[in-house]
Amino acid sequence: MNIVLLGAPGAGKGTQAAQLVEKCAIAHISTGDMLRAAVKEGTPLGQKAKSYMDAGDLVPDDVIIGLVTERLQDADTKAGFILDGFPRTSAQAVALDAELSKLDRPLDAALLISVEPEVIVGRLTSRRMCKECGCIGTATDTVCPKCSGEMYQRDDDNEATVRNRLDVYEKSTAPLIDYYRGCDLLVEIDGDRDPKIVFEDVTKALSL
């Protein structure tokens, strides 16, 4: 199954993607993870992307499209994939359709995890990450719950940046909902509930 995962930053896309990967044994392609890894490693791509990511802006299309197209050549994507964080604009969606057409691997669904903006602001500004293992926790975690490492707030999780990211999402990414609805691929799920309940609805909607 080939799926595009939609939703605002902090809607819970990563959580649902991880469960879909486990259930369906398909590849999870997270552009955010790939870009953060490139930033950490100091690659040319990472250096180019960092200024955009820190400000909460979208990384330019040419960088993302090249990254995703290259990733889709990997063997682990042949059985199916979940695209998490891409496409984010209508232009990217059109480019993705063109690449998937060349590969003869069309999308089966565009899964939208829907959460109200103020709920997301609360979620992201309280989010913390472990410097050692990357575990995601909350502001109440003084040390990592997995490895006892130091927890920190990512640069893009402060309130001003979070609100900017949501504004960018509404202006640039929300039109994708209409795009995929027009393609008869959109599946919308309420994400403001316990993740287990959300996943139950996801599997029903995708007939898994």
Those residues with Cβ within 8 angstroms of residue 69's Cβ, 6 or more apart along the chain or in another chain:
99
pLDDT in tens, 17-48: 989 999 999 999 888 777 777 788 887 777 88
Task: Give the amino acid at 124.
Answer: L
**Which tokens is 117 given?**
């903006």
pLDDT, mean of residues 185-196: 94
Provide the CATH number for the domain formed by 2-115+172-205 in this structure: 3.40.50.300
Catalytic residues: 13, 88, 127, 154, 165
pLDDT tens for each residue of 121-154: 998 999 999 999 989 899 999 899 999 999 999 8
74-112 per-position pLDDT tens digit: 899 989 999 988 898 888 899 899 989 988 999 999 999
Q: List the beta bridge partners of residue 100.
A: none
Q: Which residues contact 35 (CB under 8 A, 6 or more apart)?
A: 45, 46, 49, 53, 59, 67
Tell me the domain boundaries of the chain: 2-115+172-205
> pTM for this one?
0.75
CA distance 181 to 202: 17
